[in-house]
Amino acid sequence: TEALFQEQPGTGNPYLEDTLLRSYLKIHLPPKVLEEVHQDLERFGNRLLTKIQPLSWECELNPPVFRQYDAWGRRVDHIHTCSAWKRMKEISAEEGLIAEAYEKRYSNWSRLYQAVKLYLFSSSSGGFSCPLAMTDGAAKVIESLGISGSLKNAFDHLTSRDPEKFWTSGQWMTERRGGSDVANGTETVARKQPDGTYRLYGFKWFTSAADSDMALTLARIADAEGQCVQGSRGLSLFFLRVRDEEGKLNSIQVQRLKDKLGTRQMATAELWLQGARAELISAEGRGVAAISNMLNITRIHNVIGAVASMRRMISLSRDYACKRMAFGKLLKDHPLHVQTIARMEVQVRGAFLLLMEIVRLLGLAETNLASEQEQLLLRLLIPVAKLYTGKQASAVAVEAMESFGGQGYMEDTGLPVILRDTLVLSIWEGTTNILSLDVLRSLAKSQGQVMAVFLSTVQEKLELVSSTKELAPAVQRTREAIGSLRQFMAAAGSEQGLTMELAA
Ligand code: MFK
Ligand code: FAD
């Protein structure tokens, strides 16, 4: 028989194997909630392992295909997606991956529970996490604007558990002249129609999950002379259906699908809006503020994706270390190799706990249980976590790839896909520097409060662990960091002073 020289790394039920996740839930969830959630997550973990992971690989092998014309020369602009991708949509509805957060069965814990399911789903989702992020963001915007009229219908579809009824949403913000500077880069114009709806004319440069049912997008409303207000105050938010009931595009042409480094399972298109019928859903000129609710949700999804991909890579790496021999012993018995894995493990654990803290706070905010301080903290932590974990995920993925040696570089192991897909996490949903500026925006807006809240929260947490001997060096370092920040603030005169100094 053939000698076995290289064993494939694998993992079991991702929920049962995730000891940090399980201990977090045990410590934080009320017992009754824990009992129900545990049962569901164990079942979901098995479904992921046996049914969903194979679909994910199918999505990677069968990326979307764009067909512009049919055999008879008619323009069809059809984006063909594979059956596994369609199945992911059904599974997302069945599992309530969006619904859970809006039904609020477990009050303030529903959001955290949803985030945990998304975290487990993410690395087996074949890219479907992307439309789910935007779907969640759209539901959040609609909820925050008030659910009425046609938005009620859209909200019901976005939050449905019925696969026949479930819709996904796109988020069309980026145009050719500006993805970060949306306020000045948006050229799309909205012309009002006699029935009160609008028709949109413009070009959307990046539109992911272009097979979605609906989208939220920004445009400038033209006045009777065809003039538009420029800058941020000229932007309004619109809701549109991508296709009508017969599947015909809503006066939209697909220019092409993007040829991407990663996220290849999912269609990202360039779209011409040629009079797409849309509904104004924000106050005129309040488009950026209104879509910020979407951004804050999709940025949390970005954190979920970052933590999930780190978890997956490291779990596989740990398993491989228990199987692969080098220099006469298993990798796990080489202290230097174990140190490399341990460093990554610390990174993913820190990122996971930060994510849990954010969704815990979000759950409180959404059930009116958050104090003003907790709301400020949430606003601050979202961009911080997105920018930090976005970068961290690709660094960890590179390190983890090396831990498999040459096999880590081989396409058919599935490992390079994870690396490619993490590389986008620091670009979309706001680049690192744009999010740094958003941190400053949140500091400036809180007028001297958020930094104080942040520092006292860190101080409180520090006290909880200050008697743990093993943590003494870390506690000391954190104390020093808090001290320097306080000094810096004092020197700046106030938090506003600090913000201005940083901004300068
Ligand atoms: C694993 C799955 C991950 C998810 C996958 C999704 C697929 C990918 C989809 C995308 O990439 S979608 C496109 C994402 N695009 C961005 O993230 C845009 C990046 N640029 C920014 O974030 C800019 O900072 C921004 C466009 C928001 C700047 O716009 P403005 O108009 O120049 O900013 P301004 O004037 O400071 O803010 C306007 C209002 O919005 C202000 O409110 P007020 O008028 O009431 O004062 C701001 O406070 C508010 N605002 C801005 N950002 C906010 C916010 N409010 C709350 N939270 C925020 N983050
Ligand atoms: P730019 O804004 O031109 O940025 C270029 C560089 O300049 C960046 O490094 C940036 O950090 C820096 N920069 C810009 N302004 C400043 C500043 N003030 N200070 C310091 N540095 C600055 N967008 C959507 O709307 N919907 C989608 O569905 C979508 N899907 C995407 C899918 C993929 C795979 C990718 C890669 C992108 C997608 N995007 C989508 C677009 C994405 O959100 C933008 O590419 C991103 O926001 C950056 O915008 P930009 O490409 O215009 O870069």
pLDDT at 361 over 90: yes
CB 436 less than 6 A from any atom of ligand 1: no
Q: How far does residue 191's CA lie from ligand 2's centre (Å)?
A: 27
What tens digit of pLDDT does each residue of 189-215 get?
Answer: 999 999 999 999 999 999 999 999 999
pLDDT for the residue 504: 59
Q: How far does residue 428's CA lie from ligand 2's centre (Å)?
A: 6
269, 79 Cβ separation under 8 angstroms: yes
Q: Is the dihedral of CA 493, 499, 500, 503 positive or negative?
A: positive
Q: Which ligand is nearest to the CA of 209?
A: 2
Determine the Cα–Cα distance for residues 430 and 7; give it in Å rounded to an integer. 40
Q: How far does residue 292's CA lie from ligand 1's centre (Å)?
A: 5
Q: Which of 350, 478, 471, 326 is closest to 407 using CA atoms?
A: 326
What tens digit of pLDDT does each residue of 1-37 get?
Answer: 565 667 889 989 999 999 999 999 999 999 999 999 9
Q: Is the dihedral of CA 26, 30, 35, 37 positive or negative?
A: negative
Give every CB contact of residue 439 below 8 A, 6+ residues apart in sequence: 380, 383, 384, 387
Q: Give me the mean pLDDT over the 346-365 stretch.
A: 98
Q: Round the CA-based radius of gyration of the chain to a whole number and report it.
A: 24
pLDDT at 456 over 90: no
From the centroid of its chain, how far is CA 451?
25
What stretch(es) of the chain map to CATH 2.40.110.20?
170-288
CB 292 less than 6 A from any atom of ligand 1: yes
pLDDT for the residue 499: 63
Nearest residue CA, atom 58 of ligand 1? Answer: 292
Q: Rounded mean pLDDT of the chain?
A: 94
Query: To which residue do tokens 């929260």 refer?
Result: 457
The one-character DSSP state at 488 is H
* Atom number, ligand 2, closest to the C-alpha of residue 433: 11
pLDDT at 407 over 90: yes
pLDDT for the residue 491: 74
Of all helices (H) and strands (E), which one includes residue 170? Answer: strand 169-172
Determine the Cα–Cα distance for residues 212 and 214; give it in Å rounded to an integer. 6
Q: How far does residue 295's CA lie from ligand 1's centre (Å)?
A: 6
What tens digit of pLDDT does each residue of 109-147 get?
Answer: 999 999 999 999 999 999 999 999 999 999 999 999 988
The dihedrals phi and psi of 223, each to the nearest 5 degrees, come to -85, -175
Confidence of residue 443 (pLDDT cuts 50, 70, 90): confident
Determine the Cα–Cα distance for residues 368 and 360; give it in Å rounded to an integer. 13
Token readout for 315 is 């779990």
Nearest residue CA, atom 4 of ligand 2? Answer: 180
- Complex ipTM: 0.99
pLDDT at 495 over 70: no
Q: Which ligand is nearest to the CA of 302?
A: 1
Strand partners of residue 243: 249
- Measured in residues, the chain has a length of 504
One of 3.40.50.1170, 3.10.450.750, 2.40.110.20, 4.10.320.10 is the CATH number of 170-288, namely 2.40.110.20
The dihedrals phi and psi of 410, each to the nearest 5 degrees, come to -90, 125
pLDDT at 492 over 80: no
CB 301 less than 6 A from any atom of ligand 1: yes
pTM of the full structure: 0.96
CB 432 less than 6 A from any atom of ligand 1: no
pLDDT for the residue 500: 63
Which residues surround ligand 2 with Cβ inside 6 Å?
A: 170-174, 178-181, 206-208, 260, 263, 268, 424, 427-428, 430-431, 433-434
pLDDT at 448 over 80: no
What tens digit of pLDDT does each residue of 75-104 get?
Answer: 999 999 999 999 999 999 999 999 999 999
Count of alpha carbons within 13 Å of 155, Cβ hemisphere only? 17
pLDDT for the residue 57: 96
Q: Which of 40, 39, 49 is closest to 13 using CA atoms?
A: 49
What proportion of the chain, given as a percentage, has pLDDT over 90? 84
Q: Report, in this order, helix, strand and coil percent for the chain, each rounded to 5.
A: 60, 15, 30
